[in-house]
Amino acid sequence: MDLVVQGLVKAFRLLLSGDPEVLEITLLTLRVSGLATLISLFLGVPLGLYLAVARFRGRELVVGAVNTGMGLPPTVVGLWVSILLWRNGPLGMLGLMYTPTAIVIAQAVIALPVVTGLTMAAVQQLSPKLRLQVLALGASPLQFWWIILREVRFGILAAVMAGLGSVISEVGASMAVGGNVRGYTRVLTTAIVLEVSKGNFDMALALGFVLMVLTYSITYALTIVQQRRRRW
């Protein structure tokens, strides 16, 4: 119990003193995970909309893959992205291995099926007749998708929260493709792992506390928007 208290005290000290290293790690975590979530949104929302309404041979296989991907182990993603980005790999010439960009790519891969799957589920909750009604209102194809997107906005907010949650808390992929390089690719989760391995439990707890506060603050802000219009 003393350890936990020490950790909390240290966390407060770190936060209040504005420790430059913790601040840097926190900002990098925010930048990397925020960007990865944004990329997953840009790709996952249109893909989710498409999969919700499209009819094509093998659709179930794709949907099954997306649903499986929602539980994709970050370590496996890290392994595959490493193979792609490694010096001798197919994308080795880009020189992205052990850079923040590599972590963004890996995290975007982790968040993509989460955002796609939840967007698809949100659209499928709508009445199928709404499609006809929106078309009957005179919507062009672009206007149609805009309206459908607006109708599922709270579902997409849930997808953002789940996507961000899945990447900000992962460690396997960040470690594999980022390498936990101090001052360059060290994010909160990889820093925690390092501190634990060194036996600095109070520091690990402090960083864990920072991570939790960070995640909770973002999720809380999104939750306020989402729950403003609750119907139940």
Which residue number, 50 or 154, has a Cβ lying nearer to other proteins? 154
Q: How far is CA 115 from CA 44, 58, 192, 213, 217, in A?
A: 5, 21, 27, 23, 20
Near other proteins by CB under 8 A, which window of 7-15, 20-28, 82-90, 143-151?
Answer: 143-151
Helices (H), the chain: 2-17, 20-53, 59-69, 74-85, 100-124, 129-136, 141-151, 153-168, 172-178, 188-198, 201-227
Do 85 and 92 touch, CB atoms closer than 8 A? yes
Query: Which residue, chain included where needed, has tokens 């003193």?
Result: 17
Which residue number, 91 or 139, has a Cβ lying nearer to other proteins? 139
In angstroms, give the least distance from the CB of 209 to other proteins: 38
Question: Of 130, 212, 213, 225, which lies in the binding site for other proteins, with binding defined by CB under 8 A?
Answer: 130
Q: How many residues can be counted in the chain?
A: 232
Question: Of 63, 135, 149, 196, which lies in the binding site for other proteins, with binding defined by CB under 8 A?
Answer: 135
In angstroms, give the least distance from the CB of 141 to other proteins: 8
Question: Of 55, 57, 87, 231, which lies in the binding site for other proteins, with binding defined by CB under 8 A?
Answer: 231
Asked if 138 touches other proteins (CB under 8 A), the answer is yes
Asked if 228 touches other proteins (CB under 8 A), the answer is no
In angstroms, give the least distance from the CB of 136 to other proteins: 4
Cβ neighbours, 10 Å, residue 69:
17
Near other proteins by CB under 8 A, which window of 55-63, 147-155, 161-169, 176-184?
Answer: 147-155
